Amino acid sequence: MSAPAIALGLALRNIRLHLRRSLITASGVAAGVAVLVFLWGFNDGTHEQMRRNLQELILGSLKIVPKGFLAHPTLDRAIADPAPIMQKLHALGARRVCARVRSFVLAASKSTSAGELLLGVDPACERRALRLASRIVQGRWLAGGRELVLGAGTAHELGVGAGDEIVLLATDRFGALAADRFRIVGVLGGEEEGVGKGLLLAPIASVRTLLSLPAPRVHEIFAVLPDEARTHEVEAALEKALPAGLDVLRWDEIAPVMRQWIEIDDGFMRVFLFIVLLVAAAGVGNTALVSAMERRREFALLAALGASRMLSMASVLAEAGLLAGAGVLGGAVLGLVAVKLAAIHGINLGEQMTTITRYYLDPVVRPRLAEGRLVETVLVMWLAAVLASVWAAVRAGRVRPAEGLRA
């Protein structure tokens, strides 16, 4: 029988001999891992929702704009010919690609005025690419002509609804004041920042007319990528392929607040992981220490029979590894079941948090673990528990044969 097999056999025998203690130790680890897996699932699920909703509702995964346009948008800075860029995006695997023109305008109803961002869009393309069209709660999506769709918050502030007309006032490309009357055909539901309030959507041709912007000029091209993980790769390929004078911006560069908030949230979870890790690992370390103390005569006998110190140490570590292994596996299964159940039934935060959708969160959160999260949590917890047992193993290795004669 090989030394590792003997060490494993001794560890298993000791676990059997102290079954209750072993079960309590493993249960402590399991409880910690289960809670961590669930909380990670909750965290990752909310982050996934925020990222996906932001990209699929309004922003896209990537945006191509004239250099510096987003910080300082002037009408004369435009992409003169969007077609080759859109073709390139298609070639890189993006299937949902649309072009827009944009300008701030003054929207005036009968009783008040408000500054708004006006997006000139291709109604059919946007319907395919984003989920905006499905958010209409009053009226319909854009078809063509001088039609307008706006958020419910904007409609409330202007005191208008589907069927009403408002005047849009802007400075056109030549610096002259331009105004046009638009009919509201649809109102979008939801409170998302930048969509619920402050946004108007109109067919691209009518906005070009208002701003004296000749076709095919556009101000931005966006793409929604089927696989978010490819965003950096597509961005790099575009930067190489596109002519100078254009910015390729990822969603998280356009909305750094969301990226940073996700990082802070993850940071907090890691601190919490550390706390749980420590307490659970101490449990295993403690058990290993007591076990090593109890088995001094056994280790002394092994030493007297010529076994190496490594065998005693390996036996203690194997016991800790097995206990922690059982704990993390049990905890992982429990945590996964909890994540799965919560994902199926959803956690309704919308009832308590009426403003939750402002941050692109759905009212019902569905936990979901990010790739690699489970493996990372399980491995870190197991490793910490085994490391916590090293001192116990060292003490077992130091037992001298003479100690076997005591008592």
Partner 1 sequence: MMLVRLALANLMLHPWRTGITAVALAIGIGALLFLSALNAGWQKQVQEGFAAMRTGDVQLRDPRFRAAEPLAGLIADADALAADLRARADVAAASPRIVVGGLASVARAQAAARIYGVDPVHEAEVTRLARFVRAGRWLAADDARACVIGKRLAKTLGVRLGDKLVLTALARDGELRAQLVRVRGMLDSGDLALDAHGVFVPIGFARAWLGAQGAATHIVVRAQRFEEARMLAARLGAATGLVAKSWDMLDPMAREWADFAEAYAWTMLAVVVLLVVAETLNTMMMSAEERVREFALLRALGLARTRLFGLVLVESVALVGLGLVLGIALGGVAVALAARYGMDLSRFAEALRYFYLDPIVRPVWRTNDALRIAAAATLGALVAGIWPAVRASRTRPVVALRGLV
Tell whether residue 169 is a contact of partner 1 (CB under 8 A): yes
Under the criterion CB under 8 A, does residue 170 sit at the interface with partner 1? Answer: yes
Contact call for residues 206 and 199 (beta carbons, < 8 A): no
Q: Which of residues 196-225 bind partner 1 (CB under 8 A)?
A: 198
Nearest-approach distance from CB 3 to partner 1, in angstroms: 27
Q: Does 319 bind partner 1 (CB under 8 A)?
A: no
- DSSP-assigned states of every residue in 151-187: EHHHHHHHT--TT-EEEEEEE-TTS-EEEEEEEEEEE
Whole-number minimum distance, CB 44 to partner 1, in Å? 15
Q: Is 103 in the site for partner 1 (CB under 8 A)?
A: yes
3-class SS of residue 61: coil
Nearest CB to partner 1, comparing residues 27 and 138: 27
- Residues between 134 and 163 with contacts to partner 1, criterion CB under 8 A: 156-160
> What residues have CB less than 8 Å from 10, skipping those under 6 apart?
298, 315, 318, 319
72 sits near partner 1 (criterion: CB under 8 A): yes
Out of 6, 52, 93, 106, the only residue in the binding site for partner 1 (CB under 8 A) is 106
The yes or no reply on residue 281 touching partner 1 (CB under 8 A) is yes
71 touches partner 1 by CB under 8 A:
yes
For residue 247, count other CB atoms closer than 10 A to its CB.
18
Q: Shortest gap between Cβ of 171 and partner 1 (angstroms)? A: 5
Give the integer Cα–Cα distance in Å for 310 and 334. 35
Using rule CB under 8 A, residue 330 touches partner 1: no
97 or 365: CB nearest partner 1: 365
The residue type at 36: L
The answer to whether residue 184 forms part of the interface with partner 1 (CB under 8 A) is: no
Q: How far apart are CA 238 and CA 62, in angstroms?
A: 10
Prior bond of 84 cis (ω within 30°): no
Segment (H or E) for 267: helix 256-294
25 binds partner 1, rule: CB under 8 A = yes
Q: Which is nearer to partner 1, 6 or 169 (CB)?
A: 169
8 A C-beta contact, residue 404 and residue 301: yes
- Candidates 53-61, 101-109, 221-229, 372-380: pick the segment binding partner 1 (CB under 8 A): 101-109
Tell the smallest beta-carbon distance from residue 272 to partner 1 (Å): 6
CA 96 to each of CA 54, 125, 215, 227: distance values in angstroms, whole numbers, following the listed order: 15, 8, 21, 12
Contacting partner 1 within 249-268 (CB under 8 A): 256-261, 263-264, 268
- Per CB under 8 A, the list member of 74, 87, 134, 348 interacting with partner 1 is 74
195 sits near partner 1 (criterion: CB under 8 A): no
Q: Is residue 364 near partner 1 by the rule CB under 8 A?
A: no
Number of helices (H), then strands (E), in the chain: 13, 12
